Amino acid sequence: METVYQFRENQKAGKAADTVYHLKKEPENETVTDRQPLYLCPVTIHLNARFQPKHRFELEDVLQDVLEQKKLGTVDGGGTLQSATGEIMSCDIEVMLKDTNQDTMSALCGILNRFGIPKGSQLIFTGQKTEIGLQEGLAIYLNGTDLPKEVYRTCDINYVIDRIDQLLADTGRMYSYWEGQKETALYYYGESCEKMLARIQPFLDTYPLLAKCRVSRIS
């Protein structure tokens, strides 16, 4: 029988709908210099990250704030790529920039790398692809069907998340998760997969709910 895990949601992850922009009438006394900059250069940020849409929205919001502050551009939407099982494989954020010259693209690359973008991500514009990302990714897949019923009844996935967070400390953190029919995945990103795994391996080997789990490198 399929096991349904009950996650404790982060309040910041509660946003689950795309932003809707509403047009408003410009004031009659507004001058050309008062208007928002015109951004005409489309760029796709391809993220090698397994983010649920609501977690991608969080990144979009932060990116929007920084782009506005630096007058570089604006976020223009996004999307998610799923496998046949429904697991998220990657996602995109579409932005409109003031231009795509070297200084602007270097600034965008620096912003994204400071956010903690996974390796294998790309900036795609005018037929070009630029590799970005410094973080390595680790997925932990919990078996949701083959463990004793007592394990599912007495163990708590939120304890797993909290404990792994404690063990990882500053070496990595959980970015997102996925609930499938037979297993649940927790996605962690950090400077080094090897360092993260070394921190959590004893816990993976001993906690009952993690029996028969599998670990996969995802970036």
Concatenating the DSSP letter of every residue in the chain gives -PPPP-----GGGG--S-------PPPTT--GGGSPPP--EEEEEEE-----HHHHHHHHHHHHHHHHHHTSEEEEEEEEEE-TTS-EEEEEEEEEES--SHHHHHHHHHHHHHHTPBTTEEEEETTEEEEE--BEEEEEEEESSSS-HHHHHH--HHHHHHHHHHHHGGGEEEEEEEE-SSEEEEEEEES-HHHHHHHHHHHHHH-GGGTT-EEEE--
- What pLDDT score was predicted for residue 212? 98
Q: Which CATH number fits domain 136-217: 2.40.30.10, 2.60.40.10, 3.30.70.1280, 3.30.70.1140?
A: 3.30.70.1280
The residue with tokens 């200084």 is 103
The residue with tokens 């995802």 is 218
- What pLDDT score was predicted for residue 8? 56
Give pLDDT tens digits for 62-88. Answer: 999 999 999 999 999 999 999 999 999
What mean pLDDT is reported for the chain?
88
pTM over 0.85: no
- What pLDDT score was predicted for residue 29? 54
- What pLDDT score was predicted for residue 127? 85
Is pLDDT of 202 > 80?
yes
Q: What's domain 37-132's architecture?
A: 2-Layer Sandwich (3.30)
The order of strands in the sheet holding 73-82 is 73-82, 88-97, 41-47, 121-125, 128-132
Give pLDDT tens digits for 127-181. Answer: 899 999 999 999 999 999 999 999 999 999 999 999 999 999 999 999 999 999 9
- What pLDDT score was predicted for residue 11? 39
In the chain, where does the domain assigned CATH 3.30.70.1570 lie?
37-132
In the chain, where does the domain assigned CATH 3.30.70.1280 lie?
136-217
Cβ contacts of 20-28, under 8 Å, gap ≥ 24: none
Q: What confidence category does residue 37 fall into, taking pLDDT thresholds of 50, 70 and 90?
A: confident
Query: Are the C-beta atoms of residues 87 and 187 closer than 8 Å to each other?
Result: no
- What pLDDT score was predicted for residue 35? 60
Is pLDDT of 32 > 50?
no
Task: Look at 215 and 4; give whichever has higher pLDDT.
Answer: 215
Residues whose CB falls within 8 Å of the CB of residue 100, separated by 6 or more in sequence, listed in order: 41, 43, 125, 126
